[in-house]
Structure 1
């Protein structure tokens, strides 16, 4: 009997140990499952965070890209603008130009003409284009020249070099005194400062009712092209 009791007790103890081991395994599995679920949740959250962060970062990158592009383009534009300025020079100004005028009328021409020369004396290359402002001073008041022709592309006027444009005007063939010309006022393109020169052409304009030919000015570089 004692031996059976001991055997039975041993069996009970073994069963208890076995049950305990099973419970430990179950607990371990239970702990492993939540743990892997948390890990998946973390991955998902991390993925969501990555998406969110990715969006944020993407937004940040997109935001940074325009900024960097803007900065790059700004720098590039600014650099390009700067290098363009360096390459071409700044705008030709009245103070940096020597302005002269000479009679270019040829006998037999229907109108009188003069050539106005702009010489770059600024010490550096400069850019010029368009039309100069031209006014004839007369004893009857100032007469503004009308533009004729199309302006060319901006022109790089090298230091010490000259570029010309023409001014044409009607000849006084009436035999009368007409309108006496007393001076020529020239304002370089995109400038407000003018220079007054002696008039080099014929002394007078015909008195007209406005239906005759008028004083015309050609674009920069046009001397000899019309009248």
Structure 2
């Protein structure tokens, strides 16, 4: 009987020990699961923050690109405005003036050859109007020959300069050609027909009597843009 009682007590003790061990394992399992969940949440949060930072940086880069594009557009706009100003008679101080009218200009042509081989005729335009005007650009020029033909003159390779004339101011442009000293020139000019820049009305001037004869054809004569006499 005593042996039986000891055996029973031992069995109860073993059962109790197993019960406590099982409880400990359950608690440990729960703690591990909680830690795993916390770790997963932390990893997800870190990933989200990293993605957000990356997107933010990307957005910053896009904004910077937009700023550069805006600056380029602004620069381009300024260049375009400057070009348009020269074409439309805008002064370099920003004030806008109208183009000079033929009727407001006193126009004259004189021989200005620098030597016996280089022909040059200076054509001067004086603003006789009451307001400031622009004579910027190339004048249209035809040379009339003794046979009554009219020959258009080509433009020389030069860039127009802003030529703004206050009342009384003068602008000048010139015709350039080579002088024929052989006495065999086929050209016999009598008149110079001038249309001021951006105008449609023409004036006819006498070919200067002292000007040298033209070497070659009228197509060898060139007209250059206006500039002020100052």
Q: Taking structure 2 as the reference length, what is the TM-score of the superposition?
A: 0.57
Identify the residue that residue 217 of structure 1 maps to in structure 2. Answer: 223
Identify the residue that residue 28 of structure 1 maps to in structure 2. Answer: 31
Measure how far apart 1:219 and its partner are.
3.6
Give the distance between the partners of 1:34 and 1:105, measured in 2 at CA.
101
Mapped contact 1:99–1:117 kept (Cα < 8 A): yes
Measure how far apart 1:24 and its partner are.
1.7
Identify the residue that residue 145 of structure 1 maps to in structure 2. Answer: 153
* Contiguous gaps of at least 5 residues in structure 2: none
Trace 1:1-227 onto structure 2 (pairs within 5 A). 16=19, 19-44=22-47, 46-47=49-50, 49-50=51-52, 54=55, 58=58, 60-79=59-78, 81-82=80-81, 85=85, 88=92, 89=94, 93=99, 95=101, 98-105=104-111, 113-117=121-125, 119=127, 126=134, 128-129=136-137, 131-138=138-145, 140-147=148-155, 150-151=157-158, 154-157=161-164, 159-160=166-167, 161-167=169-175, 181=190, 184-188=193-197, 191=198, 193-202=199-208, 215-221=221-227
Give the distance between the partners of 1:102 and 1:65, measured in 2 at CA.
58
Measure how far apart 1:11 and its partner are.
9.6
How many residues matched?
206
Mapped contact 1:136–1:142 kept (Cα < 8 A): yes
The more displaced of 179-188 and 29-38 is 179-188
**SS of 2:121's equivalent?**
strand
Give the distance between the partners of 2:33 and 2:15, measured in 1 at CA.
26
* Contiguous gaps of at least 5 residues in structure 1: none
Give the distance between the partners of 1:183 and 1:212, measured in 2 at CA.
12
Mapped contact 1:179–1:206 kept (Cα < 8 A): no
Write out per-residue CA displacement over residues 132-184 of structure 1, whole angstroms, 9 at most, x where no aligned residue: 32113455221223445x5256335254433201236879xx9xxx9573562
Q: Taking structure 1 as the reference length, what is the TM-score of the superposition?
A: 0.57
Give the distance between the partners of 1:218 and 1:117, measured in 2 at CA.
14
Write out per-residue CA displacement over residues 72-119 of structure 1, whole angstroms, 9 at most, x where no aligned residue: 321343256557847625697454994432242379x86683423264
The more displaced of 30-39 and 153-162 is 153-162
